[in-house]
Each structure stands twice: as C-alpha cells, then as structure tokens.
Amino acid sequence: MSLILGHRGASAYAPDNTRSAFELAVQQGADGVETDIHLTKDGIPVIQHNYEIDRNSNGKGYVEQMTYDELLQYDFGSWKGEQFKGEKILSLDEALEIAQRSMSLINLELKQTMHFNSPIVEKTIEAVKKHKMVDRVMLSSFDYALLQKAQLLCPEMLIAALYDEAEVKQNNIEEILKDPASYISNLGFDFANPHIDYLCEEGIVEKFTQKGIGVTVWTVDKPYIAQMCVKRGVKCIITNKPKVICKAVREICD
C-alpha cells in the first residue's frame, strides 16, 4: 500500500509546516509528512516553505536573514484561524522529535539557498543522525547538487529528485523531462518525486520501477487520483488532505 504523507502536514486544515499541521496529519491517518528546510542567519535549520515569512506569519523578511530567536517572535498560526494563534516556527529538531514519536517516514525538502557555501546539507544530516532517524527520512530537492552532497555524506539515506516543468526550466535541467527514469538513475538517486501531472503519462511508474527507483507524487487531493496512483505502484502520495486520501487508499486496498 502507498504511504500517505501530509503536504507540509495536514495543510488544508491547519497552518502549513507547524506543529498543529504535523500532529493533525498523523491523527488523520497519515504515515508521515512532507516538509521544507531553510537555514536561519545563525545556522539553525527551521521548517518553512517560502524563503520569506510574509505569507504565513505576522512578520516580514527572509528566513536566511533572521536569527532563530528573531523568528520565534512571530506568530505562524493566526493567518489560518484564531484557534492556531501563537504557533511558533518549528526547528528541524522539533519536527524530528514529532516524527520520531509518530511517523513511519518524513520527507525533508532541502530548499535552494542564497549562498553557495551554505551548510544546509551538513546541518540537516547532523540533526537526522542525532535523532536516529536516518532510516525514516527521505531527502528531496529541486537542487540536485545538494542531493549529491547529501549522498556523499550519508549514503544510507533515501535521496529523491523533485521535478516539475517550471522548476527544471529555472534550474536549466530540462533534459530530465525527456527521459526522467534514465536521468535520475544516472544520478544514483533512490526516488523520483514528480508533480502529479507527470503520472498522466502511461507507464511512467513502471519505467522508474524497472530501474529500481521509487516514486513519490505531489500534490494529490482527489480520491480517484490517489486510487490511480496506488494502482500504478506509487510508493508515497503527498496530500494536503490526509483524511480524505487515507480513506480513498484504504478503500481500494480493502
């Protein structure tokens, strides 16, 4: 059966990438979550999707230009509803503590950095090892250089190449779209994490499977699409609505 991962937690129902969203995803039946990592100005890995905090907090500015203590001054929950008022930005350590207690898998997306020499890979792997979570973490990124670095530092960890058309064009790796299975196989990665649009291509999952590559797909919120993914052999389904997708997957597996 496919694993269900809450996209930034149960982000349809709670403020994304917060403790509330992660814990709700597990309560709704998710096997784990997909989340995003940035480094603060003082080198602390934190959980945040956007480069800036303007969208999902009462503050403004870029994560990489603020210290962790500065970020803790802001409310990351009220924008989603008064019941979430006072949510603080999560550190990677805190996210891994939640995962350690209640998740089979956590997908950590390494965000591209503003600085070429950023230690985001080293800091992430250090935290994962500290929490003894190497066998329950998948590292993904649109920046394949970061993934190759992670591969060298921790070869036993699952490594996953994210891709969709907009991102690969931005990163000048459009070659991947011609034959993604061969491209990712040549990089030696364990997983392909494409946008759901690429699952429309008949036989794409089988092409990955033949090369020993698992498939994680994002972002799936419709039950019939989740069921199609299961039938095609997708290993992990990332969704904003764990409750809905867990029910759909159970139905087809039963």
Q: Indicate the SS3 state at residue 250.
A: helix
Mean pLDDT to the nearest integer, 116-123: 92
Q: Are 1 and 234 in contact (CB under 8 A)?
A: no
For the entire predicted model, the pTM comes to: 0.96
Q: Are 90 and 18 in contact (CB under 8 A)?
A: yes
Per the listing, tokens 């389904």 go with 237
**Residue 164 gets which letter from DSSP?**
-
Distance CA 45, CA 37 (A): 6
Q: Are 110 and 124 in contact (CB under 8 A)?
A: yes
**How many CB atoms are closer than 10 A to CB 51?**
16
Residues of the chain above pLDDT 70, percent: 97
Distance CA 152, CA 5 (A): 26
Confidence bin at 165 (pLDDT 50/70/90)? confident
**Residue 195 gets which letter from DSSP?**
B
pLDDT at 190: 98
pLDDT at 91: 98
pLDDT tens, 169-216? Answer: 666 567 788 899 999 999 999 999 999 998 877 799 999 999 999 999
Helix or strand run (H / E) with residue 215? strand 214-217
Mean pLDDT to the nearest integer, 154-177: 81
pLDDT at 110: 97
Residue ranges of domains in the chain, CATH in brackets: 3-207+236-253 (3.20.20.190)
Q: Is the pLDDT of residue 152 over 60?
A: yes
Handedness of CA 134, 136, 141, 144 (dihedral sign): positive
pLDDT tens, 142-151? Answer: 999 999 999 9
Q: Is the pLDDT of residue 13 over 70?
A: yes
Between residues 245 and 170, the one the model is more confident about: 245
Q: Is the pLDDT of residue 56 over 80?
A: yes
